[in-house]
Amino acid sequence: MRMVSTLAEKPVAVFDSGVGGLTVLHELLVSLPTEDYVYLGDTARFPYGDRSLEELRGFSVEITDHLLESEVKLLVIACNAASSAALGTIEDHLIARGAEIDVIGVVSASTQLAVAGSRTGRIGLLATPATVASGAYERAVRAADPHVHLESVACPDLAPIIQSGSPFDDAVVATVRGYCAPLRGAQVDTVILGCTHYPLVAPLLQRTLGRGVQLMTSGTGVARGVERALAARGLLNPRTDEGDYRFRCTGDVESFRALGTRFLQMPLGEVTHVELPARLSV
């Protein structure tokens, strides 16, 4: 990482429960290539999808405090479960610490795109149980357009299947079809992929749902939100060459590197193992 001399040259921080958030980081690297990034995957406590709200809020605050030590200029919660449960908690925590940085979550980013893109006002959501149970997407859809119907499906097995890196077989296809069946029955025309792991199975989802259904991921919306937030504060990095990106994880480094390349679709450089102050297992 380059020596930082101004606030605008500080890195953007991104965190997720595992490697799924790398699909969001990929969009940031493409859309805002002059920025530096630091990414933390909390792989020791993956998955977040079946955690309680209290656990998710606690984990998110621990990670936020860790990333603040790197003097970051903006924080991206690239995890739907953490965004759904802890966005407000993190904002309050930053205020309490006197850290004047913006926080961008993934829920509002994908919801706004989905509502704007739906022709019929019937939208589907595929997400982890924790994200569905939080009601965050229902609230976001209702705020964007109270006349839009959201059909939510909890998918407890999908993120762990993708995170495992195992080849997709007939059992995986059957699992995906089962999750998509209620959405087909509800005749949705747009589906929000409410977990950053799910873009890795987008072709399978598209085939199952039909070519007339739009799939909405959070990466594009998050990148737009980050750019607007940085521009509003005058914090866009002024340099013209490509920025750096580096990685940290709380679990096994080699597993993160091997699977992370698939998600990021770019080479991974150094991956550093970190231990957060609180317990790593619950």
**C-alpha span between 192 and 66 (Å, rounded):** 30
Rg of the chain over Cα atoms, rounded to whole angstroms, equals: 18
Q: What are the φ and ψ backbone dihedral angles of 203, each rounded to 5 degrees? A: -60, -40
Q: What are the helix (H) ranges across the chain? A: 22-31, 53-68, 80-97, 107-117, 129-134, 136-144, 158-164, 170-185, 202-209, 219-232, 253-264
Sorted by where each starts, the structural domains of the chain and their CATH numbers stand as 7-105+220-273 (3.40.50.1860), 108-217 (3.40.50.1860)
Mean pLDDT, rounded, for 18-29: 94
Helix (H), strand (E) counts: the chain: 11, 10
Per-residue confidence (pLDDT) for residue 166, from 0 to 100: 77
- Beta strand 190-194 with 214-216 is parallel
- Whether 280 has a pLDDT exceeding 80, the answer reads no
Q: Give tens-digit pLDDT for 211-236.
A: 999 999 999 889 999 999 999 999 99
- Whether 4 has a pLDDT exceeding 90, the answer reads no
Q: How far apart are the first and last CA of the chain?
A: 33
Confidence of residue 163 (pLDDT cuts 50, 70, 90): confident
Q: Give tens-digit pLDDT for 100-155.
A: 999 999 999 899 999 999 999 999 999 999 999 999 999 999 999 999 999 999 99
**C-alpha span between 155 and 178 (Å, rounded):** 9
DSSP letters for 140-155 = HHHHH-TT-EEEEEE-
Residue showing tokens 């993934």: 106
The DSSP call for residue 168 is P
Mean pLDDT, rounded, for 263-279: 85
Helix 53-68 to helix 80-97 angle (10° resolution) is 50
Per-residue confidence (pLDDT) for residue 281, from 0 to 100: 40
Residues marked active site are found at 79, 195
Report cis status (omega within 30 of 0) of the bond before 267.
no
Per-residue confidence (pLDDT) for residue 282, from 0 to 100: 38
The DSSP call for residue 176 is H
**C-alpha span between 14 and 25 (Å, rounded):** 7
* 156, two tokens: 């407890």
Write down the mean pLDDT value for the chain: 93
* 265, two tokens: 């679709």
Mean pLDDT, rounded, for 191-204: 93
* 31, two tokens: 């859309």
Confidence of residue 66 (pLDDT cuts 50, 70, 90): very high
**C-alpha span between 239 and 245 (Å, rounded):** 15
